[in-house]
């Protein structure tokens, strides 16, 4: 069973654009759960341009499903995660000025750094996932850090999907098999949507979780949040 974790960053972006509390990030997260989402993901950044630190603390108090916090493991980020104790932390190699994630970790070059961060969170009982490209070598090196899962960066798949889905999926199947054979859990995310998710899942059915935010929020403008979450869940059956 592949879980759907809804990334609510874009909800916070909309709220912050006008000030106040509309839309209410906490209420939307709870509604996502009510409509069937099995997790909530946030990606707080240092400038708080979408999710704020205060949102993270408030979400922890009320969520009933898995809470996933993703981000670059700076000192401030690690402190936040250590205080909140989510079910999962996903380590991404973003710089503060990036609009969105655009690459996975070089887990060979940064093995020592990542090993230290993974060790910190695992002693706190937090499942750790490392964001990587669909590269068997990066998956193998991630395993050496002691992490529990990897999350495959799926933007290259999404970009090529409409032109050649068979070609687009090949490196992801290869990386996913390496993860599976090494005992790592497997997540995926970035630009997955209602057009490409079903095919991806059908060929990598052992996925533990997909994290989807931007596309899901955009679809909700047309279908409504409840129907949209139902549509994404149906892609994972």
How far apart CA 153 and CA 155 sit, in angstroms, is 6
- Predicted local distance difference test score (pLDDT) of residue 94: 77
- Predicted local distance difference test score (pLDDT) of residue 98: 56
Say which of 33, 70, 140, 209 is annotated catalytic.
Answer: 70
Residues 181-214 as b or e (16 or more Cβ within 10 Å = b) = eeebbbbbbbbbbbebbebbbeebeebbbbbbbb
- Torsions phi, psi of 193, nearest 5? -150, -175
Reported as half-sphere exposure (CB side, CA atoms, 13 A), residue 125 has a value of 4
Instruction: For residue 38, give both structure tokens.
Output: 């099995």
Say which of 43, 140, 201, 209 is annotated catalytic.
Answer: 43
- Residue 50 known to be catalytic: no
Element (H, E) at 7: strand 3-7
Q: What is the pLDDT along the chain (237 residues), one digit of tens a residue?
A: 899 999 999 999 999 999 999 999 999 999 999 999 999 999 999 999 999 999 999 999 999 999 999 999 999 999 999 999 999 999 999 766 655 666 799 999 999 999 999 999 999 999 999 999 999 999 999 999 999 999 999 999 999 999 999 999 999 999 999 999 999 999 999 999 999 999 999 999 999 999 999 999 999 999 999 999 999 999 999
Per residue in 160-211, pLDDT (tens digit) is 999 999 999 999 999 999 999 999 999 999 999 999 999 999 999 999 999 9
- Residue 180 known to be catalytic: no
- Residue 70 known to be catalytic: yes
- Predicted local distance difference test score (pLDDT) of residue 103: 78
Say which of 50, 140, 151, 190 is annotated catalytic.
Answer: 190
DSSP state of 94: -
- Predicted local distance difference test score (pLDDT) of residue 102: 67
State the pTM of this model. 0.95
β pairing state of 39-42 and 149-153: unpaired
**Beta strand segments in 72-208, E:** 88-91, 127-132, 149-153, 185-189
Spatial neighbors of 175 by CB under 8 A, at least 6 apart, are: 132, 133, 134, 135, 136, 138, 139, 152
């Amino acid at each position: 069973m592949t879980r759907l974790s809804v990334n609510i960053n874009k909800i916070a972006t909309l709220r912050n654009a006008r000030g106040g509390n509309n839309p209410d990030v906490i209420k939307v997260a709870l509604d996502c759960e009510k409509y069937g989402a099995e997790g909530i993901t946030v990606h707080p950044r240092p400038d708080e341009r979408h999710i704020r630190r205060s949102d993270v603390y408030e979400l922890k108090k009320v969520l009933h499903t898995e809470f996933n916090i993703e981000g670059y493991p700076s000192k401030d980020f690690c402190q936040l995660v250590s205080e909140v104790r989510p079910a999962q932390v996903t380590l991404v190699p973003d710089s503060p000025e990036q609009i969105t994630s655009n690459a996975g970790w070089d887990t060979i070059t940064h093995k020592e750094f990542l090993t230290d961060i993974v060790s910190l969170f695992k002693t706190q009982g937090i499942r750790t996932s490392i964001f990587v490209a669909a590269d068997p070598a990066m998956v193998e090196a991630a395993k050496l850090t002691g992490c529990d899962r990897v999350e495959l960066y799926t933007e290259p798949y999404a970009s090529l999907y409409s032109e050649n889905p068979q070609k687009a999926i090949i490196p992801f199947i290869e990386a996913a098999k390496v993860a599976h054979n090494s005992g790592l859990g497997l997540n995926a995310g970035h630009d997955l949507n209602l057009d490409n998710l079903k095919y991806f899942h059908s060929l990598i059915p052992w996925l533990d979780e997909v994290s989807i935010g931007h596309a899901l929020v955009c679809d909700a403008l047309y279908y409504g949040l409840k129907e949209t979450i139902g549509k994404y869940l149906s892609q994972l059956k």
